Amino acid sequence: MIYTSTGSTSTTASLHEAASRVFAPDGGLYVPAQIKRLPKAFFNNIDAMNLREIAYVVANTLFGDDIPSDVLKDIVDDSFNFDMPLRHVSGKIYAIELFHGPSLGFKDVGARFMAHLLGYLHKTAGLKANVLVNTSGDTGGAVAAGFYNVPGIDVYVLYPLYKMTREQEAQFTTLGGNIHPLGANCDYDTCQELVREIFTDDEIQRRCRLLTANSINVTRLLPQTIYYFYAYSRMPRALRRNIVFSIPSGNLGNLTAGVIAMRMGLPVKRFVAAQGANHPLVDYLDRTAAAPSGKAISTLAPALDVTAPSNLPRLRHLFADDRAAMAARIKAVSVADAQISRTMREVHADASYLMDPHTAAATAALASTITPDETGIVLATAHPAKYHDTVLQATGINVPLPAQMAAAAAARRYGERIAPRFDELKRYLLRRASQ
Ligand SMILES: *Cc1c(COP(=O)(O)O)cnc(C)c1O
């Protein structure tokens, strides 16, 4: 597949180039130059296929030109090695649980796929590579687990100190080996900005083979299309006509993947993007809104605390910069903390189902817009145990920590502190990651 840039469609790149660079030379983000549609027969047979079979067909449509089929099959099997059950919540609302992987969040899917794909691309090039990633909590654990022990790749995780739960921090600070955590005393947006700057630095580009693992990397973004197809396949046939996906939206990677799945032919009617007190997509779609303020407000759903979503340029590109066209398919809704808590409490009381605050935000947003002829699928992006204290406060339920998290929380920590400044991060990387 050929990739182009959101900056200019005259830019083209191979998968290897698009996967290795963060930004296109024109500063844009890579997107597929053309999105291939899946044949009708695929949708007719989709109920009879299991997760790995569906994943392989979708992955082959996206990466089949670039990756030999036996390698792609191994990548799919290694990445989709945990279940993603579709649960009925209540009424016409379902949830696809994407949180049964090693870090208990949906980011495991893209991160594992990317790790194995980059491992393959760099092995064939015979080169050692470094991954730099910033995290507000969930990316770090998913990326660390995905890349842990992948030969030839070292991972640097830049994260804001004191901004996430002990369990989240444990997921990427207790592995050691090729995973190197860097704690900085700043907020998440500052970490994100530092990483963006590092990737535009010529000396870093020249001296370190530095890759990104945030959702702006196409090899992480595109595999996220797969679970939209899978969720559709598990929905009872009679309910498949007017499907609405509701997505807790921070950097908009998940939403962008959903739109790409729709362009590949997935019969979806529309999307709901749930945001919190920070709502840049609501502002974008509502032209009258004031320009977003710089600093993110902290909420019960920290992965939504983003003011400048990194995937917005891709989403705009997919809709040819036409806000009205985007608004026809995407409804962005801002959900306040009180509503997130109330939804967690009510869903538990009415349906005996526990949700993490991000999933609850998406459920509340969906409930506010769904019509009687529609069926809603919420992307359940994190295990409720990951947000143990928030869930306890809202519902009174003490979710037990799954075994892998309990062990990690007690384990020895690795990592270093770093001052949240460009020159410090650059010096560190030149010392550790240059070759
Ligand atoms: C990262 C994350 C999100 C936001 O996903 P984006 O692709 O950045 O929009 C939502 N929920 C959880 C639990 C997350 O970890």
What pLDDT digit, counting tens, does each position of 184-214 carry? 999 988 998 999 899 889 999 889 888 878 7
- pLDDT tens for 231-283 read 999 999 999 999 999 999 999 999 999 999 999 999 999 999 999 999 999 99
Ligand 1 probe mutation, 99, 103, 107, most atoms within 8 A of CB? 107
Residue 411 has pLDDT above 70, yes or no: yes
Tell which atom from ligand 1 comes closest to the C-alpha of 382: 13
Residue 293 has pLDDT above 70, yes or no: no
User: What is the band of 164 on the pLDDT scale with cuts at 50, 70, 90?
Assistant: confident
The reported pLDDT for the residue numbered 261 is 98
Question: pTM of the entire structure?
Answer: 0.91
In this structure, the residue with its CA closest to atom 12 of ligand 1 is 381
Is the minimum distance from the CB of 381 to ligand 1 under 6 angstroms? yes
* Distance from the alpha carbon of residue 188 to the mean position of ligand 1, in angstroms: 14
User: What is the band of 108 on the pLDDT scale with cuts at 50, 70, 90?
Assistant: very high
Written as six digits, the tokens of 152 are: 């030839």
Tell which atom from ligand 1 comes closest to the C-alpha of 138: 15
* Distance from the alpha carbon of residue 246 to the mean position of ligand 1, in angstroms: 12
List phi, psi (to 5°) of 297.
-85, 140
Is the minimum distance from the CB of 215 to ligand 1 under 6 angstroms? yes
pLDDT cut 90: percent of the chain above it: 79
Top-ranked range on mean pLDDT: pick from 9-23, 106-120, 205-219: 106-120
The reported pLDDT for the residue numbered 290 is 62
CB contact at 8 A, 129 and 122? yes
Is the minimum distance from the CB of 135 to ligand 1 under 6 angstroms? no
The reported pLDDT for the residue numbered 48 is 97
Helical residues (DSSP H) of 200-249, grouped into ranges: 202-207, 218-221, 226-234
Is the minimum distance from the CB of 251 to ligand 1 under 6 angstroms? yes
The reported pLDDT for the residue numbered 431 is 94
Residue 127 has pLDDT above 80, yes or no: no
Is the minimum distance from the CB of 358 to ligand 1 under 6 angstroms? yes
* Distance from the alpha carbon of residue 133 to the mean position of ligand 1, in angstroms: 15
Minimum mean pLDDT among 163-172, 224-233, 330-339: which range? 163-172
Contacts of residue 208, defined as CB under 8 A and 6 or more positions apart, other chains included, come to 130, 429, 430, 433, 434, 435
Average pLDDT rounded to a whole number, residues 33-51:
96
What is the strand order of the sheet 243-248 is part of?
86-90, 93-97, 375-380, 243-248, 270-275, 330-334
Ligand 1 probe mutation, 172, 189, 254, most atoms within 8 A of CB? 254
User: What is the band of 289 on the pLDDT scale with cuts at 50, 70, 90?
Assistant: low
The reported pLDDT for the residue numbered 151 is 86
Is the minimum distance from the CB of 101 to ligand 1 under 6 angstroms? no
CB contact at 8 A, 281 and 271? no
* Distance from the alpha carbon of residue 434 to the mean position of ligand 1, in angstroms: 31
- pLDDT tens for 322-351 read 999 999 999 999 999 999 999 999 999 999
- Greater confidence (392 vs 127) lies with 392
Minimum mean pLDDT among 99-108, 204-213, 413-422: which range? 204-213
In this structure, the residue with its CA closest to atom 1 of ligand 1 is 303
